Amino acid sequence: MRWASKPVEPAYAEPDPADPDGQAMETTWFAKRPVSDVRPGDHAWLAYSGAEERDRVIGAFIREGLDNNEKVVYVTDTPAEGLPGMRARTSPDLDAFVESRQLRVIPREQACLDAGGRFVPEKMLETLAHEAGQTFGQGFRAVRLTTDHTWVMNAPGRADLAEMLGCEHRFGDTVSPSTMAMAICQVARRACRDDELAALRDTHEVLVEINPEYDDGILKIVRTFDPHGLRVEGELDDVRHAAFADRLGALVRSHHRIHLDLSRLGFIDLGGLRLLARHAAARGGDRTLVLDDLAPAVENIIEAVGWHRLPGIVPGRRRGRPEHAGGRARGTRGEGRCR
């Protein structure tokens, strides 16, 4: 394929300790990026837990491309006006993007199916290469490619895993050295078994996630969807309480449990503990605030004062250990699959 390319350099790597996208039996190294940081050469993976998560990630991916004179190629049977991030667009606006071929919405039949309706990996790769190859000629500075594999994994004539993996590898080999193409491969977590999910994920170097709700370099707050809650990273202190309280307060309160992933929280001040206790008290009843994967710094301070001084707050999942009683057990993700 004749795509502009760059020398191969390894993505900055980090282990995937939280293992949110499958059951890795050994430590695998990935770059994890918020969607706004996806850049040319990224062959990124999004295993989403629901429509809200997918729409917020893919919506931002499409919108930022269109706003920056980049071409967006989406293989889907959903019409342009139904795509994530497009609903707020006025139709003349949308028509202009389609007209100029900046937004290419290509139905599956045309992109990757044979006459019998079967998924043909080679056809998909050719379609994407063709669209990407036209990018500069059409006056765009980069190309963003995305498609949702959920249907392939679920369809009656389901592609076999080896075939999918081969397709992803070849696609990755094409995108990674590129200086102008970036891609997000999507799949609904519940569509695949955990081992399939892990195998597919492992063909990508980049894990993409939602943009943080807040990030000032000291404290970072990221929405989580499965479980419902927030991931809080860095340091939570007095000047950052308001930002955290806002995000916590904005979560849907009807959920029985709100989970806070504190695996990367290096510091919480005593005011932060008071804030959590106030929030838990305001929720009332038996609705709890669950603290998952506590980093030692935070766990030590809570254990020093005693969990009973934080009513309504319970310890949750612990890395490598079973979850607190009453929580969702791990490793049962495949149960809801539709095959």
Partner 1 sequence: MPVTLEHRAFLYDGIERFLTVAVPYLREGVEAEEAVVVVLREPGLSALRDVLAPFAGQIDFYPSDAFYLHPVRTLKSYQELLAAKAPRAIRALAEPVWQGRTPRETLEWARYESLVNVVFKDADARAMCPYDLAALPPAVIDHARRTHPLLAWDAGTAGSRDYVDPADFGAECDRARRFGDRRGAAYFAVASDDLHALRAFVGGRASAHGLDDPAARNLVTAVNEVAANALRHGSPPVGAWIWSDGPELLCEIGDNGLWRPGPHTGFIPPESALERGFGLWTVRLLVDLMELRTGWDGTFVRLHVRR
- Site for partner 1, rule CB under 8 A: 218, 235, 237-239, 267, 269-271, 273-274, 276-278, 281, 296-297, 300-301, 304-306, 308-311
CA distance 89 to 38: 23
Contact between 310 and 278 under an 8 Å Cβ cutoff? The reply is no
Size of the chain in residues = 339
**Please, which residue, 95 or 235, has the CB nearer to partner 1?**
235
**Closest distance between partner 1 and the C-beta of residue 279, in Å?**
11
Cross-strand bridge partners of residue 145: 73, 183
**Closest distance between partner 1 and the C-beta of residue 296, in Å?**
8
**Closest distance between partner 1 and the C-beta of residue 209, in Å?**
25
Residue 106, φ and ψ in degrees, nearest 5: -110, 120
Q: Which residues contact 48 (CB under 8 A, 6 or more apart)?
A: 54, 57, 186, 187, 188, 189, 225
**Please, which residue, 126 or 235, has the CB nearer to partner 1?**
235
**Closest distance between partner 1 and the C-beta of residue 229, in Å?**
20
The letter for the amino acid at 151 is: W
How many alpha carbons lie under 13 Å from residue 171 in its C-beta half-sphere? Answer: 31
**Closest distance between partner 1 and the C-beta of residue 271, in Å?**
6
Contact between 86 and 80 under an 8 Å Cβ cutoff? The reply is yes
The letter for the amino acid at 100 is: S
**Please, which residue, 55 or 215, has the CB nearer to partner 1?**
215
Both tokens assigned to 270:
């005593």
CA end-to-end span of the chain, whole Å?
35
Both tokens assigned to 281:
């008290």
**Closest distance between partner 1 and the C-beta of residue 228, in Å?**
24
| CA nearest to 88, candidates 55, 111, 116, 129 | 55
The letter for the amino acid at 326 is: G
**Please, which residue, 25 or 304, has the CB nearer to partner 1?**
304
**Closest distance between partner 1 and the C-beta of residue 16, in Å?**
25
**Please, which residue, 51 or 281, has the CB nearer to partner 1?**
281
**Please, which residue, 79 or 271, has the CB nearer to partner 1?**
271
**Please, which residue, 276 or 290, has the CB nearer to partner 1?**
276
Q: How many CB atoms lie within 10 A of CB 329?
A: 9
**Closest distance between partner 1 and the C-beta of residue 278, in Å?**
6
> How far, CA to CA in Å, does 150 sit from each of 49, 306, 332?
12, 45, 18
Contact between 86 and 131 under an 8 Å Cβ cutoff? The reply is no
**Closest distance between partner 1 and the C-beta of residue 275, in Å?**
9
DSSP string, 142-179: -EEEEEE-HHHHHSTTPPPHHHHHHHHHHHHHHHTTBS
121 alpha-carbon distance from chain centroid: 24
**Please, which residue, 29 or 307, has the CB nearer to partner 1?**
307
**Please, which residue, 95 or 269, has the CB nearer to partner 1?**
269
